[in-house]
Chains A and B, each alone.
Chain A
Amino acid sequence: MPGQKRKYNVRFPPGRIKKIMQKDTEVGRMATAVPVIIKALEMFLISFLTKTSLITHSKNSRVMSVNHKQCIESEKLFDFLKDLAVQACGASTQKEVKAKGESELVICLETPSP
């Protein structure tokens, strides 16, 4: 008997994903490759969310916020998300946002705005 057989009810729209892929004008035709990408995306999300939730837990916070995305920093695999994380962090806090590297994400605290 398979141990962890999780059947997800979420199905991402293949048409939408194809459009996203083809926004990159370099990308040409692909037909049967889309379901494969969907699966990979699913797995990526699970992995990413799970890792981030560990950080949320370790901070004893009950709400996952952008700050917890520091896992993006810690995993080489998620390097491609660095820019996004920086942007998001910059949007949610209005102070001390200078692209200085690692320390920035950790410092990104939700200080109450006056």
Chain B
Amino acid sequence: MASSSGNDDDLTIPRAAINKMIKETLPNVRVANDARELVVNCCTEFIHLISSEANEICNKSEKKTISPEHVINALESLGFGSYIAEVKDVLQECKTVALKRRKASSRLENLGIPEEELLRQQQELFAKARQQQAELAQQEWLQMQQAAQQAQLAAAAAASASAGQQAGSSQDEDEEDDM
């Protein structure tokens, strides 16, 4: 692809999202490519339609920011009133989520501990954890060493036991050589 972000004039909903939507809505229907393209453009058109209507309503209400209420009124006036019920549900969900988030952050503030202190505590905890890990690693290392040593000893013992038998027979020869 030549351009990274594309022209502003070609803003559309991503094709993949539309394809997925088609698949979920009409699972058993095959849809021609040009039809999909048309659906993509219909989406953009719909967004423009609702936005501009909502914008007008917003202007009339002397407010500067388009609110969800304006959008809902726009839907009504454009004949999409049947969508309003579910749209309101979504709105409620959003409000609940936003409320929770606000509560969560204020709960944190109300702990009374300033941020620097929290940071310091965090660093402490990290240092502790690192130390514990280091100690654990060392222990494991020691254990491994011990195990290795024992294995060596056992091997040596076994080796010398068998070597001892051999040495018994070869020792006579050696004595002869030495003497």
Q: Which residues on A are within 8 Å of B, measured CB to CB?
A: 8-13, 16-17, 19-21, 23-24, 26-33, 35-46, 48-50, 53, 56, 62-66, 68-69, 76-77, 80-81, 84-85, 88, 91-92
Contacts and interface: CB of A to CB of B under 8 A. Distances in A.
Given A10-B21, A43-B83, A63-B30, A28 B58 contact: yes
Contact of A46 (B25, B48, B66): B25
Range of interface residues on B (Cβ < 8 Å):
35 or more
B167 interface: no
A16 B32 CA distance: 25
A86 B8 CA distance: 24
B30 A37 contact: no
B67 interface: yes
Interface stretch (B72-80, B99-107, B125-133, B152-160): B72-80
Contacts of B41: 84, 88
B11 interface: yes
Interface of B: 8-9, 11-14, 17-18, 20-22, 24-26, 29-32, 34-35, 37-39, 41-52, 54-55, 58, 64-68, 70-72, 75, 79-80, 83, 86-87, 90-91, 94, 98
Given A28-B65, A44-B46, A35 B91 contact: yes
Contacts of A32: 67-68, 94, 98
Contacts of A69: 35, 38
A10 B24 contact: yes
A66 B38 contact: yes
Given A32-B67, A33-B67, 9 more contacts: A9-B20, A16-B13, A28-B66, A33-B54, A39-B83, A41-B47, A69-B38, A81-B45, A85-B38
Q: Which of B43, B52, B72, B86 has the most CB of A within 10 A?
A: B43
Q: Which of B9, B51, B72 has the most CB of A within 10 A?
A: B51
Contact of A37 (B18, B42, B51): B51
A45 B30 CA distance: 16
A18 B83 CA distance: 20
Contacts of A29: 64-66
B49 A80 contact: yes
